[in-house]
Amino acid sequence: MPTETRAKRGLVSGVVVATVATMICVTASAQQDKESGRNISATMQAASRSLTECAAPLYADAKYAEITSHFPANGTETSLAQLGDDSLATKKQIALILEYDAAQQVCRLAYVKEVQSVLPTLAAILQDEYTKLEFNTLDLIKKKIAWGIWSKKRKEITTELGLRWTAESQRIQRGQHQ
């Protein structure tokens, strides 16, 4: 499977989890206020598409292959080989990580901004989890942890994001029914 296709599949599957949880909120919103619900739904779908369109080409870019080989596009799909990688990031990889992260940051910030416009509490969760991912990457860059530990923490953070996102979506839905 081509790298860009894998990248899009991985990013899409991660975004799908967030979108499904958001749709729970949207359904509740739509029942009370169809126009508002349609607005939330349209905004979240557009935000998810924009994130995928922004991030997938970066992940698929051959220039970053030396680092993207250490992690999947979707942080929850980490392989055992990636989790067991005891190597530290090289100077070249660190330079690539910094460049890659700066480009991904643009994608993440745009996504958070779009989510913020319709579901601010979910945007706050995203921002918190993105900050955890940044600190994890900082530990990799400072050679405090190996690629495998970085991948393990990334998987944990990504999984936590999904759980927190779902819980908040359910909380919003319950609030809509009251």
Q: Is the dihedral of CA 48, 53, 54, 56 positive or negative?
A: positive
- The answer to whether 115 and 47 are in contact (CB under 8 A) is yes
Q: Give the side-chain half-sphere CA count within 13 A for 21.
A: 21
What is residue 77's predicted lDDT score, i.e. its pLDDT? 93
State the Cα–Cα distance between residues 49 and 26, nearest whole angstrom. 17
Over the chain (178 residues), the average pLDDT of each successive run of 10 is 54 51 49 69 91 95 96 91 97 98 96 94 95 97 98 96 91 70
pTM of the complete model = 0.79
What is residue 17's predicted lDDT score, i.e. its pLDDT? 47
What is residue 7's predicted lDDT score, i.e. its pLDDT? 55
Q: Is the dihedral of CA 110, 116, 118, 122 positive or negative?
A: positive
